[in-house]
Structure 1
Amino acid sequence: MTAQTHTPRILSRWDAVSMAVFMLAGAAFAVVSVVQSVIRITEVLGGGAVRVFAQFAGTPAQAPIGPDGAPVTVELDTAYLTAPELPIASVAALVLEPVVVAAAVVTVVTCLLLLTWNVLHGRMFSKTNTRLVGTAGIVTFLGVAAAPFFANMGANGAFAWISDRTFDNVVLSADLVQLLTVGFLGALAVTTFTVGDRLQRDTEGLV
C-alpha cells in the first residue's frame, strides 16, 4: 500500500496574484514583440527606403553642436542609415533579425508561463520544469547572439550599397557581458531546478 502525501501550500494568495499578473504581462509582451516584428518585416519588404541601425568603428563626423550650430568633429559610434535600396542578402538578414527576436521572445515567454502555471499548482521542482528552464535559457542565449549578427549583416549591406563599397566599416559586435550573463543565469537556474527535483524525489522516497 502506497501512502499518499499532501503537498503543502507553498504560495500565499498575494504570491499567486503576483504570478498571475506576471503571466498576463508575459503574454502581452509576446504579442507586442510579434506585432513589432511584423511591422519591421513589412518595412523592410515594402520596397521603399529602409532605416537601418548601424555601428561605426570610431568614425569622425560633423555635428552642428558648436556656436550658432557650427559643425564640430565628433566620433560616431552608432547611427541610423536610410538606405534607398539594399542587397538581397541584407534584406534577408533584416527580415531574419525580427523573426529571431519574435521567435525567441514567444518561446521564452511560453516556457516561463508554463513554469509559472506549474508553480501555481504546487509543482515547483520536476523534470518538466527543469526542461522548461533549460529551454528558456538556451533560446535566450541563441536569440541574444543571433539577432545582433543579422542586424550587423543588414547594416554592413547598407554601408556597401550607400558608399558603392568604398567605405569599409564591417563591424561584427557581440555583447560578451550580456552573453556570459545569460549563459550563467541559465546554467544556474537549470542547476537549481535539477538539484531541487532530486532533493524532492529523495525526500518523497523517505516518506
Structure 2
Amino acid sequence: MEDIHGFFRTGTVRGVGNWSETHVSSSSSGGGGYIHNGSGHISAPTVSVSSTTTEVMRFFMEYADDEEEEVTIKGGGFAAREGQRVTVVRIGSRPDWGYNVAYHNHNTGSTFAPDHRLEWPLYKRPSRKMMLFAPIIGAVVSLIIMVELWWLFVVGAFGWAFYAYSRKNGEYQRLKAAVRQRVDELLVDAKAQHGRMKTELKGEAA
C-alpha cells in the first residue's frame, strides 16, 4: 500500500458566499423522412432537455500567520458563517500536499467528510473494462491458434480478468479504508488542538 500523508489547518472563516450553478444539456433523436414526386412525409426530431443544479459554497480561511486561503465546496453538505473556526483536512501521496477531503466546524461541531471527497484514492478505482475486453481478446487469439478450443480461451481470459479486477478492487478498498482512518485521526487531533486553544484563551482572560 502506498504511503498516505495527511495534515490539517485550522483558521477563521471570512467572506462566505453561497450560490447555485445550473448545467443544461440537450439531446435529439429521430427525425427525417422523404419526399418523392411532391409526396412523402417529414418528421421532426425529438428533443429532450435536462438540467442539474449544484450548490456552491466559497469562503476564505484566515490563519494565525496572516495567510489566507480560498476554499470552494461543491454539492452542499457543509455550513459555516463569518468568524467561525473551521479545520480543513488534506490527504495526499506526498508530505505537505493533498486534496481537501474533510471539513470540521468547531463552533457548530459539524463534520463534512463523505466518501466521495476522498478524491486521491478514488483515482485508483479499478476499471471493469478488462472484464469486457479480456474474453474478446481470448476469443480472437483462440481463433488464430486453436479453433476447436476457442471456448477454453474465452473462459480462461474471463477468469483471469475477474481475478485481476477482484485483486485490484481489494487493494482499492483497503487504501480507501486507510485514508478514512487517517482522516478520522487528523480530525481528532484538530479537535484536541482547538480545545487546548480555547482553554488557553480562557486562562488568559481570567
**Larger radius of gyration between Structure 1 and Structure 2:** 2
- With normalisation by structure 1, the TM-score equals 0.31
TM-score calculated relative to the size of structure 2: 0.31
Counting helix residues as a fraction of each chain, which structure ranks higher?
1
By relative contact order (CA 8 Å, sep 6+), the higher-ranking structure is 1
